[in-house]
A and B are shown apart, each in its own frame.
Chain A
Amino acid sequence: MNKISVIIKREYITRVRKKSFIIMTILAPLLMAAIIIVPTAVMMNQEGDLKKIAVVEDDSDLFRDVIKNTKDAEFVYINNGNVEELKKSFESSGYYGILYISPKIVDTPNAIQLISKQQPPIGLLQHIEGSLEKEIEKQKLLAYQIENLDEIMKTVETKVSIQTKKIDETGEVKETSTGISMALAYIFGFLMYMLVFIFGSQVMRGVIEEKTSRVVEVIISSVKPVQLMVGKIVGIALVGLTQFLIWIVLTMATVTVLKSTVLSKTGVDKIVMEAAAPQNIMAGSQLDETQVQAAAVSPELQEFSKLFNSAMNQPWGLIIFAFIFYFITGYLLYASVFAAIGSAVDNETETQQFMLPVTIPIIVALMVAMGTMQNPESPLAFWCSLIPLTSPIVMMARIPFGVPYWQIAVSMALMLVTFWAFVWMAAKIYRTGILMYGKKTSWKEMWKWLRYSG
């Protein structure tokens, strides 16, 4: 036991001190945080150039000043403009684009063109479309000659946003979001895949290193091969957990810092708070102007606050427990197989033929996990979350959507049994393999090793 701890210590320390480890450990969370924050930040304060857009109408002024200026687009209404002329002078005019509205627009909604050199951003198009739609609706309504139309319009204006709520066994209802469940499923599934693969193949490389440098014979004259294998696997697992913990802490820290600096500038907090009470919007006529604007201007922010709430409502205790369980057992299972493969070959290029059958279940698991996000209750997802070779990844992807406890229990029990069986077989192959040189190993050969006595 004492010797195993000496081995674990060496495996851990030599890896943690490596430059590549330090760089990866520090850079990865910064990148992760950037991936989370940057799109939001970009969305929040898009400070692009002010786009001047000429609005031209044929033979009417129905849409004069209908489209309001936004913070990145200015709409210039041109009286009696001629599209063809504007097109000719487009280069020199400095306009970003020409919005041409044909008189037929009220009847045929596609009689409208935005002519520009670049592909216009979606936001701009939505803004124009929205404004025109509203105006046309208004015009059409006006045709019915309803009294107090403006008043009525204001009262009926409605914004709908579906809130999804999940009900659990106790009947308690929680606010959730399919989006956040999917994101979590994706992150956990992928993280499991990466950790198992990265650290599993580190075990394999470590074994090959010991075998090719021939140091293994000296070591197993001091300790049992199984002790060396277990020490290596555990040592690398600790490296993985260390890296993982640092990643969590650094990512959280980075996100917090970025959120407080970048997002607060745009006044997110205030709007989020207002938007968090969407029933106000439904309350009816006494809508105050700023709220309407807030709700209209920042649907993204509203979404964001909802995501935040539903993220808080995930079963974090279960997720963390399951993650640790599946990481440890899944990793031990695959790592011991990787160790056995490493012991059976003379160099890394020879690992290919053995890697494929090991890689396939992991890839299948990842693919099923992706499908799981569309349909977490599908039979495929169900079975793959019970089968031990795929369950670490698929079950982790299912848990954010809610999984009955008995399924988790069965999956974990199967996992434990299989993991013991695999470690036992791997240890037998390993014991023989590390001392075999210069022989091309086949599956048949490995099967024979399984039956050798000590």
Chain B
Amino acid sequence: MALFEARNVTKQYGNQLALDNVSISVPEKCIYGLLGPNGAGKTTLIRIINQITGPDSGELFIDGRKLLPSDVQYIGYLPEERGLYKKMKVGEQALYLAQLKGLSKAEAMKRLRYWFRKLEITDWWGKKIEELSKGMAQKVQFVTTVLHEPKLLIFDEPFTGFDPVNAHTIKNEILFLRERGATIIFSTHNMESVEELCDNITLINKAKTILEGSVDEIRNKWAGNEYDLVFAGDVSLNGNHNFSVLDTKKDNGKSSIRLRCAAGTETNQIVSHALEHGNLISFNPALPSMNEIFIRVVESGK
């Protein structure tokens, strides 16, 4: 069942169309990637989900019912352009933001203690934000985003500004939150993390949805009948009526060959052909990376 749904959302700023009839459906406990080049309309969509701005037309649903202003307490939002009050102390600030989300002071205090201990930032409680490094401030902001245990979390580029260790910590926390039942909308330009984390994606370009579905399906769909073969030792293949060789690489005593099957060729035919030529280590369908797909889809739209 979809935890969150946006149907036919359109938003116009003056003469500029920011979203044109965009729909997304985010299944429960899913990590949903919201992708698109800069200026495609992602931020507008995220702001509409957060009810920061309203759509000109279209409907929004949470848990199968219409989204209400009071539903902000079920949503946690980490904006791309992060910010906290620079002159305010970490603890007070976290309490303030939690109270704005509708938590009582006592409850907020309890949860803050838990999260501060978990992320090892207890010592920063009395410090001002301006005294913290960017990464440290990001950690505080992450806590304030998830503190009210929202059903729907929206992370816009959550890993920027973190060192690899902290980025790893945050990634694990995101996965942990999903395990505990949260649904996550994840917007990023980092396609590796999309492959790693996302179950489903929607790609928006020029205010329109141009690609959507599960990550695996999309990659398979774009695979285009290409395969990667790896042989031990120095091996070369020549194309025939069944396949053509696209690329051959040799290093570290291995040969990697990418080939494209002709229509109607069974993979078994290729494997048996390959076995005759050398010691085959692996045979994989050559899935395009999300990065390639992203570029190809966006370029083709030009």
Chain A residues in the interface with B (C-beta under 8 A): 3, 6-7, 10, 14, 209-210, 213-224, 435, 437, 448, 452-454
Q: SS class of chain B's interface: helix, strand, loop or mixed?
A: loop
Determine whether the beta carbon of A218 is less than 8 Å from that of B54: no
Closest B residue to A215 by CB, please name it: B83
Determine whether the beta carbon of A221 is less than 8 Å from that of B84: no
What is the interface residue range for chain B against chain A? 20 to 34
Determine whether the beta carbon of B83 is less than 8 Å from that of A213: yes
Scan residues 3-59 of chain B and give those whose CB is less than 8 A from a CB of chain A.
Answer: 13-14, 47, 50-54, 56
Q: What separation, in Å, do the CA atoms of A14 and B51 have in the docked complex?
A: 28
Q: Does B77 make an interface contact (CB < 8 A)?
A: yes
Determine whether the beta carbon of A6 is less than 8 Å from that of B96: yes
Residue from A213, A222, A223, A435 within 8 A of B47 (CB atoms): A435
Determine whether the beta carbon of B100 is less than 8 Å from that of A213: no
Q: Told that A6-B100, A217-B77, A437-B81 touch, could you supply 6 new A-B pairs with CB distance under 8 A?
A: A213-B84, A213-B86, A215-B83, A218-B97, A221-B52, A223-B100
Residue from A7, A216, A448 within 8 A of B100 (CB atoms): A7
Q: What separation, in Å, do the CA atoms of A454 and B141 have in the docked complex?
A: 27
Determine whether the beta carbon of B100 is less than 8 Å from that of A219: yes
Distance (whole angstroms) from the CB of A8 to the closest CB of chain B: 12
Residue from B47, B54, B77, B84 within 8 A of A215 (CB atoms): B84
22 contacts between A and B (CB under 8 A): A3-B100, A3-B102, A6-B99, A6-B100, A14-B85, A14-B88, A213-B83, A213-B86, A214-B81, A214-B83, A215-B83, A217-B52, A217-B81, A217-B83, A218-B97, A218-B141, A218-B144, A221-B52, A222-B72, A222-B100, A448-B14, A454-B54
Determine whether the beta carbon of A218 is less than 8 Å from that of B77: yes
Distance (whole angstroms) from the CB of B11 to the closest CB of chain A: 10
Determine whether the beta carbon of A10 is less than 8 Å from that of B86: no
Distance (whole angstroms) from the CB of B252 to the closest CB of chain A: 47
CB contacts (< 8 Å) of B88 on chain A: these are: 14
CB contacts (< 8 Å) of B99 on chain A: these are: 3, 6
Q: What separation, in Å, do the CA atoms of A217 and B96 have in the docked complex?
A: 15
Greatest chain B CB density within 10 A among A10, A210, A218 is at: A218
Chain B residues in the interface with A (C-beta under 8 A): 13-14, 47, 50-54, 56, 69, 72, 75, 77, 79, 81-88, 96-97, 99-102, 141, 144-145
Closest A residue to B144 by CB, please name it: A218
CB contacts (< 8 Å) of B100 on chain A: these are: 3, 6-7, 219, 222-223
Closest B residue to A7 by CB, please name it: B100
Distance (whole angstroms) from the CB of A12 to the closest CB of chain B: 12
CB contacts (< 8 Å) of A223 on chain B: these are: 72, 100
Q: What separation, in Å, do the CA atoms of A452 and B53 have in the docked complex?
A: 10
CB contacts (< 8 Å) of B52 on chain A: these are: 217, 220-221, 435
Determine whether the beta carbon of B81 is less than 8 Å from that of A10: no
Residue from B14, B86, B97 within 8 A of A222 (CB atoms): B97
Distance (whole angstroms) from the CB of A234 to the closest CB of chain B: 16
Closest B residue to A437 by CB, please name it: B81
Residue from B13, B85, B101 within 8 A of A213 (CB atoms): B85
Determine whether the beta carbon of B83 is less than 8 Å from that of A221: no
Q: What separation, in Å, do the CA atoms of A437 and B79 have in the docked complex?
A: 14
Distance (whole angstroms) from the CB of B236 to the closest CB of chain A: 55
Greatest chain B CB density within 10 A among A6, A223, A224 is at: A6
Distance (whole angstroms) from the CB of B14 to the closest CB of chain A: 6
Residue from A219, A437, A453 within 8 A of B56 (CB atoms): A453
CB contacts (< 8 Å) of A435 on chain B: these are: 47, 52-53
Closest B residue to A213 by CB, please name it: B83
Distance (whole angstroms) from the CB of A442 to the closest CB of chain B: 13
Q: What separation, in Å, do the CA atoms of A453 and B87 have in the docked complex?
A: 34
Residue from B77, B85, B102, B141 within 8 A of A221 (CB atoms): B77
Q: What separation, in Å, do the CA atoms of A223 and B69 have in the docked complex?
A: 9
Distance (whole angstroms) from the CB of A226 to the closest CB of chain B: 12
Q: What separation, in Å, do the CA atoms of A214 and B137 have in the docked complex?
A: 13
Closest B residue to A14 by CB, please name it: B88
Q: What separation, in Å, do the CA atoms of A7 and B85 have in the docked complex?
A: 13
Residue from A215, A222, A452 within 8 A of B85 (CB atoms): A215
Q: What separation, in Å, do the CA atoms of A222 and B75 have in the docked complex?
A: 9
Q: What separation, in Å, do the CA atoms of A14 and B72 have in the docked complex?
A: 25
CB contacts (< 8 Å) of A448 on chain B: these are: 14
**Do A454 and B83 contact each other (CB < 8 Å), given the known contacts A219-B97, A221-B77, A448-B14?**
no
CB contacts (< 8 Å) of B72 on chain A: these are: 221-223
Q: What separation, in Å, do the CA atoms of A210 and B79 have in the docked complex?
A: 14
Q: What separation, in Å, do the CA atoms of A3 and B50 have in the docked complex?
A: 17
Q: Give the top 8 A-B pairs by smallest Cβ distance, nearest first.
A: A214-B83, A222-B100, A221-B50, A215-B83, A213-B83, A221-B77, A214-B81, A454-B54
**Do A214 and B82 contact each other (CB < 8 Å), given the known contacts A219-B97, A454-B53?**
yes
CB contacts (< 8 Å) of B77 on chain A: these are: 217-218, 221
Q: What separation, in Å, do the CA atoms of A32 and B148 have in the docked complex?
A: 49
Q: What separation, in Å, do the CA atoms of A21 and B97 have in the docked complex?
A: 25
Determine whether the beta carbon of B83 is less than 8 Å from that of A222: no
